[in-house]
Amino acid sequence: MKREAVSAALPAPITEAPSKEELASRLAKVQDLMERQRLDLYVSFDPVNVYYLTHFANNVHERPFLLLIPRRGRPTMVAPLLETSHVRARALCDLDYATYYEFPAPQGENWYDVYRALIDPGARVGVEPAMPVGIYQRTPGETVVTDVIDEVRLVKSDYEIGRNVHACRVIELGHQKLLEICRPGVIEGMIYAAASQAMMARILGDIPHANIVVTRAVAAVWPPSLSHDPHLVPTFGTTMEKGGPHVSIVFAQVDGYGVEIERTFFLGSVPEPAKAPFEAMLEARARAYQLARPSAVMSEIDTAVRRVIKDRGYGDRILHRTGHGLGITGHEAPYLAEGYDRELEAGMLISIEPGIYIPGQGGFRHSDTVLVTDEGCVSLTRAPETLEEVTIPL
């Protein structure tokens, strides 16, 4: 990638709440897809999908929130009495409301009494695969398990991209702070606290009324004794080491928009055996950037990237796919993965993060939040990349 060219092309960050038109446009896309799937109603339980359509964020607990979306017209939010004014205060779209009392509640006043009364038993009703079976079983009509909102979320609007660009500015700051204080002997808890505080301060400055429910900032480093095992989360007491490969993870959801950046780096010096896998990882990554463009089939990108790693002799050191989608969460569809035979489209937001993991030596992975554009793709996150850049003098 040419840094300067890429930098010039970055969309501007956005920190404002979505307009009513933005939310209406999302709903229209959902209702279009419902039309094509011949659904009379779609029921959303997933708080991420509810947030996407309404700007209202809920914590899932035993009192369910259910968004009932008709094929035409405004949705109805089924919510507990305790939360109705919360929904009214935060939702920025037109909504009808149906309130139930409490969970549990006396007979006839439970959530499912209110919910079932709203659904025509003759209707064709779409529900999310993520819907809990306890709710699914109480859903009247001819139910169809289908991703409708998740499908619409795959391609981002200009507004969403602006929000994610802003979130990337926040995690870049967190990553800089992480690299600044990560030295041999420093414990994870210090890195986590310093980097997440830096990010939270930036968020508070930029968006004083950020919604706490959908705002968090996480930073951690896998030192070389752990980095071969990318999902073995370190503890607060995990201690940084000399050399490397250390692997950083910085993730934030900034007032509802989630992004990530990760880097392989070295403290003081690079062990000789680490050089070849590091370069192989860079090469695989470059291949992914080269291939990621509209109409490219995602499984084929994954296969091609794996081939680079295999050709370098690390075929048995691959633990995961090339990348995943981001947007509201830091982990969502689409997937750059074998078995996912869908084409990339402009406006999709993906991580590019092929990895090589060698027990006894460590892990090798950079990850960025990458926007697919008409011309190809552009990373929204910036951090040191080359072996020279990621070797921190002590």
**Residue 248 or 385 having the CB closest to its own copies:** 248
Q: Residue 221 Cβ, how far from its own copies at the closest point, in Å?
A: 12
Cα 365 to Cα 32: distance, rounded to the nearest angstrom:
39
How wide is the angle at C-alpha 345 spanned by C-alphas 344 and 347, nearest 5°?
125
Least Å distance, CB 339 to its own copies, is 4
The tally of CA atoms less than 13 A away on the side-chain side of residue 303 is: 9
Token couple for 322: 């090339």
Choose between 134 and 393: whose C-beta lies nearer to its own copies: 134
**Closest separation in Å from C-beta 177 to its own copies:** 15
Question: Which residues sit opposite 222 in a β-bridge?
Answer: 247
Exposure string over 46-58, b if 16+ CB within 10 A, otherwise e: bbbbbbbbbbbbb
Site residues, its own copies (CB under 8 A): 61-62, 81-83, 85-86, 89, 102-107, 109-110, 127-134, 136-137, 145, 189, 192-193, 197, 200, 203-204, 208-213, 215, 220, 229-238, 319-321, 324, 331-333, 335, 337-340
Q: Quick one: which H or E segment has residue 299?
A: helix 298-311
Nearest to 183 by CA among 242, 263, 227, 253: 242
Which of 79, 378 has the CB closer to its own copies?
A: 79
Q: How far apart are CA 164 and CA 166, in angstroms?
A: 5
For the bound state, the minimum distance from the C-beta of residue 167 to its own copies, rounded and expressed in Å, comes to 16
Q: Least distance from C-beta 340 to its own copies, angstroms? A: 5
Least gap, CB of 204 to its own copies (angstroms)? 5
Q: What DSSP string describes 153-209?
A: HTS--HHHHHHHHHHHHHHHHHHHHHHHH--TT-BHHHHHHHHHHHHHHHHHHH-TT
Nearer to its own copies, 37 or 391 (CB): 37
Q: Which is nearer to its own copies, 277 or 376 (CB)?
A: 277
The residue (of 28 and 319) whose beta carbon lies closer to its own copies is 319
CB of 34 to its own copies, least distance (A): 18
Burial zone of 30 (CB within 10 Å; 0-12 exposed, 13-18 middle, 19+ buried) = buried
Pairing state of beta strands 332-336 and 349-352? unpaired
Shortest distance in whole angstroms from residue 199 CB to its own copies: 12
Amino acid (one-letter) located at 53: L
For the bound state, the minimum distance from the C-beta of residue 131 to its own copies, rounded and expressed in Å, comes to: 5
Query: Of the two residues 116 and 382, which places its CB atom closer to its own copies in the complex?
Result: 116
CB of 31 to its own copies, least distance (A): 22
Q: Which of 287, 268, 278 is nearest to 362 (CA)?
A: 278
C-alpha dist (Å) from residue 349 to 25, 73, 216, 260: 19, 29, 19, 11
139 vs 379, beta carbon nearer its own copies: 139
Cβ closest to its own copies, residue 47 vs residue 277 = 47
Nearer to its own copies, 12 or 232 (CB): 232
User: For 9, phi and psi rounded to 5 degrees?
Assistant: -85, -5
The half-sphere exposure of 197 on its side-chain side, counting CA atoms within 13 A, is 6
Closest CA to 380 of 337, 359, 358, 351: 351
